[in-house]
Amino acid sequence: MKAVYTGVAPLARGGPGVVYVERDGVRSHLTHRSKHSPTGFMWGYGDSGPADLARSILFDHFGSDALCDVCLGEGKVERQASPEEVDEGCELGVAYDSCPLCAGEGTTVVLPSMYHAFKFDVVARWPADADWQLSSDDIELWLRSTA
């Protein structure tokens, strides 16, 4: 399903921007897949806010195909805790290991190498104090150019 992403520049210098995604005439906030920037989305440079924006756009673009089939995007899998771990306070005897399929990254498609490349090639180039738009077609063009 085609989407259009729209970024609205922050009102205050250094504040986070607001990003919307629109599909079939329905507009909603882009889900923040926080990994680098707990304070929100930014663009116009190559740091943590733009990294989370690039990651979140690509997650949204790929949808359920972005999630690892084993850990469902969590990057970890449950297992029975050892007696030593239970003694150390594991709740309900459950412990976690890094996902063997995606090596704890939590994805099979949107790996750090991909979203950091997208950050530098696309997100970092938008002026930090201006609004922007990006379509699904634009993302597909970028993906083909990096293949």
Give whole-number Cα distances, 143 to 25, 111, 147, in Å.
25, 13, 6
User: Tell me, what's the pLDDT at 126?
Assistant: 96
Contact 108, 63 (CB under 8 A): no
DSSP state of 67: B
pLDDT digits (tens, 9 = 90+) for 74-132: 777 777 777 776 666 656 667 677 887 777 666 667 888 899 999 999 999 999 989 99
User: Tell me, what's the pLDDT at 119?
Assistant: 97
User: Tell me, what's the pLDDT at 55?
Assistant: 93
- Residue carrying structure tokens 């919307």: 20
Cα-Cα-Cα-Cα dihedral sign, residues 33, 38, 39, 41: negative
Q: What is the pTM (predicted TM-score) of this model?
A: 0.76
Residues 6 or more apart in contact with residue 4 via CB below 8 angstroms: 21, 22, 133, 134, 135, 136
User: Tell me, what's the pLDDT at 86?
Assistant: 64
